[in-house]
Amino acid sequence: MTETRSVAVVTGSGSGLGRALAARFIAGGNRVVGLDIRVGEPLDGLTEIATDITDPAAVSAAFQHAAALGPLEVLVNAAGVYPRSTLADATADLYRRIFDVNVLGTVLPTQAFVAARDDAKRGCVVNVASVDGIAATGISVLYSASKAAVVNLTQGIAGELAEKNVRVFAIAPDYIATETVIELVGGAIPDNAATPQQVADTCWDLSRTDAFALVTGQTLVLRKGALDV
């Protein structure tokens, strides 16, 4: 009898880091379900579901679908938006967009993941935060605040989810060399930018059930120099 593969769910799977994460977990042997408002090009081994991650009903339905494919093992909350904003040009609409996707879009998938999985099996949630959530930048004040909320959320839910056999981490990368980031900074890859694949490899390592067994609630800062050693 063929053993049922465990499922990894990746939000923001349609492009950029989310796409690299989906590919990494597929390569590692997981069945991968991707959630994105717009699905990407077909990827062998990836089941993509067009999902608004700020809609509770849509998120719940997507995770029920994912759970029907196999035991839920991993959730990577990689979906995010990062328009620049200062205090002077911040608007209510921009605030709601950034916080809805970056914060509510982390809370709802995590709730649905926990509700749909078997507590007897070990699991892991990896939230994608940012160094801007640890040391805020004046050119992206709303984005920085939203990622600080993700860091705090990760710490806040760790004890609650430990009781359900789920470890929780956040990663705080510097620049990641995705097409969107390269366009945002003017078309050149920043010297301190890690590749999406390097970041995806780190998330994979964190998610392994035999790795960091006694660690939860931590945010790991990712630096290109450290990754390249």
Mean pLDDT value across the chain: 92
Domain 7-228 matching CATH 3.40.50.720: the answer reads yes
Q: Which whole number is the average pLDDT over 106-125?
A: 97
Euclidean distance between CA atoms 8 and 88, whole angstroms: 40
Q: How confident is the model at residue 181 (pLDDT cuts 50, 70, 90)?
A: low
Q: How confident is the model at residue 1 (pLDDT cuts 50, 70, 90)?
A: very low
Which residues are known catalytic residues?
143
pLDDT reported for residue 223 = 84
Q: How confident is the model at residue 3 (pLDDT cuts 50, 70, 90)?
A: low
The residue to which tokens 């366009």 are assigned: 183
pLDDT reported for residue 229 = 44
Of 21, 15, 57, nearest to 37 (Cα)? Answer: 15
Euclidean distance between CA atoms 143 and 120, whole angstroms: 36
Q: Which whole number is the average pLDDT over 139-163?
A: 97
pLDDT reported for residue 24 = 98
pLDDT reported for residue 185 = 66
Residue ranges of domains in the chain: 7-228
pTM score, two decimals? 0.92
Q: Which whole number is the average pLDDT over 16-44?
A: 95
Which string of b and e fits 67-78 if b means at least 16 CB within 10 Å? Answer: bebbbbbbbbbb
Q: Which whole number is the average pLDDT over 199-208?
A: 94
Q: Which whole number is the average pLDDT over 118-122?
A: 94
- DSSP at 193: P
| Residue 54 identity (one-letter amino acid) | T
What would the pLDDT profile of 56-93 be if each residue is shown by its tens digit? Answer: 999 999 999 999 999 999 999 999 998 899 999 999 99
pLDDT reported for residue 212 = 82
Beta bridge partners of 218: 169
Angle at which helix 16-27 crosses helix 196-207, to 10 degrees, equals: 50
Whether the Cβ atoms of residue 150 and residue 133 lie closer than 8 Å to each other: yes
Residue 160 scores a pLDDT above 60? yes
Copy the structure tokens of residue 148: 């600080």
Of 35, 38, 13, nearest to 24 (Cα)? Answer: 13
pLDDT reported for residue 53 = 98
pLDDT reported for residue 176 = 77
Euclidean distance between CA atoms 208 and 220, whole angstroms: 16
Three-class DSSP category at 122: coil
pLDDT reported for residue 134 = 96
Q: Which whole number is the average pLDDT over 197-222?
A: 91
Euclidean distance between CA atoms 197 and 150, whole angstroms: 22
Lowest mean pLDDT among 42-51, 161-170, 202-211: 202-211
Whether the Cβ atoms of residue 77 and residue 171 lie closer than 8 Å to each other: no
Q: Which whole number is the average pLDDT over 165-184?
A: 83
